[in-house]
Amino acid sequence: MHNDDDFQRDATDGKLQRVVDAVQANPNTYAKYAAAPATADALAKLQRFHTLVKANGGATVSIHQLLRKGNDKTTAVRGPLDGLWSACETPPSP
């Protein structure tokens, strides 16, 4: 997700964090935001990432950990979940 410019743009404008906060506060709002063009793609990526994280030990990851530092893809914040980043960036096969 660090190399996904669209996700980075969506995640840094503040709206995605507000949507995530709203969904965490009331999971029933997920469908509303998942259907909205402005947030659908980013939420789908977060959902895939959440599924991968949960399947690999369930670490807690904040949106801030998914953001690159500045605009440089080479300075992405990395951690123990490095192997999941690229898996999440690739949409699942049909």
Decide if pLDDT at 1 tops 50: yes
pLDDT over 90 for what percent of the chain?
Answer: 7
Print burial letters for 64-83: b (CB count within 10 Å at least 16), e (below 16).
eebbbeeeeeeebeeeebee
In a domain, 32, yes or no: yes
Domain that holds residue 27: 5-89
In a domain, 94, yes or no: no
> What confidence tens digit (pLDDT) does each residue in 62-84 have?
777 777 766 544 444 445 445 55
Amino acid residing at 5: D
- Cβ count within 10 A of residue 36: 11
What is the count of structural domains for the chain? 1
In a domain, 37, yes or no: yes
Rounded Cα gap, residues 23 and 63, in angstroms: 14
List the one residue out of 46, 60, 62 whose CA is nearest residue 1: 46
